[in-house]
Amino acid sequence: MNVVRWGIIGCGDVTEVKSGPALQKADGSQLVAVMRRNGALAQDYARRHGVPRWYDDAQQLIDDPEVDAVYIATPPHMHKEYTLAVARAGKPAYVEKPMALDTAECQQMIDACRSAGVPLFVAYYRRALPRFVKIKEILDSVGLGEIRYVQITLTQPAKPVSAGNLPWRVQPETAGGGLFVDLASHTLDFLDYVLGPITNAQGIARNQGGAYPAEDIVSGSFEFASGVVGNGLWSFNSFASTDQVVISGDRGKLSFATFENEPVVLETEKGSQSFDIPQPPHVQQHLIQQVVDELLGRGCCVSTGENGLRTTRVMETLLSDYYRK
């Protein structure tokens, strides 16, 4: 095989710019089929993006002999079901983040793909984005000395919602939690990548605004296997927006935003350096290229089901107090 032919299950908003075009532009990659339960929307997507075939039934796309690998871009509550179906067909799966509703589902997905002898990738694409690659490069160079602690702050004003038409991202039965799960997962997974696994975590989660069932504020503390400690505050019912991660060592600190396109700032005794690295047009393309390269036997992808499971486990722990009530 010298090209990977992709099918997408769930061609919604995330696939319009972030990932769909990336599947078409990555070297050795083609997007040949898309599926959405609303056939008219699937057909419209295929027409607009120049995709040869569309389906309104996921199993038909999975069984398509011209589809080599499947990108699952549905809300999280369908990730496990579709991943298991893709594994049964003997095809690799690339799954949107968060990986699944809970750690039990993540483990089932890993086990199914392992039994079928196919790889499972998760779309934690910051691991491959140039700006975050630079952050890892700085940390790996020991520019901060011994890493001591991490501080995460993500706050946003509340967005208006209609009680009769809640976005799926704030419905726990669909998303696995609220906006914390959708957004904090990116930061926590990247920290797993650059600092190693989190082995201990505690959290407090509440709903202060009362606009929807999911949590809207989370405060957590955690410890990495290396001994680095961290804390985070995520609030989605705040006065102002803040997006900052600070990694501090005994010889300097590194500050960056997870979502905003702000410069990475390195501060040491030698002074301050700023690295302004803009995001590419299709933010998943670098990670998708790694997936394609691994499937073609010419590289390795840095985001798999294993790190997807670890990130879900940390979030599940931080939210456990709220969802036990």
Confidence of residue 179 (pLDDT cuts 50, 70, 90): very high
- Sign of the torsion formed by the C-alpha atoms of 125, 131, 134 and 138: negative
Q: Where in the chain is the domain with CATH 3.40.50.720?
A: 4-124+283-300
How many other C-beta atoms can be found within 10 angstroms of the C-beta atom of residue 58?
A: 22
Tell me the fold of 130-279.
Dihydrodipicolinate Reductase; domain 2 (3.30.360)
pLDDT at 1: 82
Task: Give residue for tokens 């302004």.
Answer: 276
For the segment 223-246, the average pLDDT, to the nearest whole number, is 97
Given pLDDT bands bounded at 50, 70 and 90, which one contains residue 186?
very high
What pLDDT score does 164 carry?
A: 85
Give residue for tokens 């990495």.
224
Q: Token pair of 75, please?
A: 């809300």
Per-residue pLDDT at 324 exceeds 90: no
Q: In the beta sheet, which residues pair with residue 229?
A: 149, 223
pLDDT of res. 142: 80
Sheet holding 229-235, edge to edge: 198-206, 217-224, 229-235, 147-155, 242-249, 252-256, 264-268, 271-275
Residues 311, 192: Cα–Cα separation, whole Å: 8
In this prediction, residues 143-152 reach a mean pLDDT of: 96
Query: Element (H or E) spanning 315, and its range?
Result: helix 305-323
Beta-carbon neighbour count of residue 236 at 10 Å?
Answer: 26
Q: Which residue has 């809640």 as its token pair?
A: 166
What is the pLDDT, as a whole number, of residue 162? 87
* For range 84-108, the mean pLDDT: 98
d(CA 104, CA 312): 10
pLDDT digits (tens, 9 = 90+) for 243-302: 999 999 999 999 999 999 999 999 999 999 999 999 999 999 999 999 999 999 999 999
Share of the chain above pLDDT 90, in %: 97
Torsion of CA 101, 223, 261, 174, to 10 degrees: 10
What is the average pLDDT across 158-168? 91
- pTM beyond 0.85: the answer is yes
pLDDT confidence of residue 229: 98
pLDDT value, residue 167: 96
On the question of pLDDT at 325 being above 80, the answer is no
Sign of torsion over alpha carbons 189, 190, 193, 194: negative
Which CATH architecture best describes the domain 4-124+283-300?
A: 3-Layer(aba) Sandwich (3.40)
Q: What contacts 177, CB < 8 A, 6 or more positions away?
A: 214, 215, 315, 319, 323
Q: With bands split at pLDDT 50, 70 and 90, how would you rate the model's confidence at 143?
A: confident
User: What is the model's pLDDT at position 209?
Assistant: 96
Across the range 55-82, mean pLDDT stands at 98
CA-CA distances (angstroms) from residue 227 to 168, 203, 287?
36, 18, 29
- Average pLDDT value over all residues in the chain: 97
Among 53, 129, 117, 125, which Cα is nearest to 89's?
117
Does residue 194 carry a pLDDT above 80? yes
What is the residue-wise DSSP string for 70-108?
A: EEE-S-GGGHHHHHHHHHHTT--EEEPSS-SSSHHHHHH
Query: Looking at the chain, which residues constitute the CATH 3.30.360.10 domain(s)?
Result: 130-279
- Residue whose token pair is 């995709």: 51
- Strands, E, within the chain: which ranges? 4-9, 29-35, 53-55, 69-72, 93-95, 120-122, 147-155, 198-206, 217-224, 229-235, 242-249, 252-256, 264-268, 271-275
Q: How far is CA 148 from CA 39, 189, 239, 246, in A?
A: 52, 18, 30, 11
Helix, strand, or coil here: 273? strand
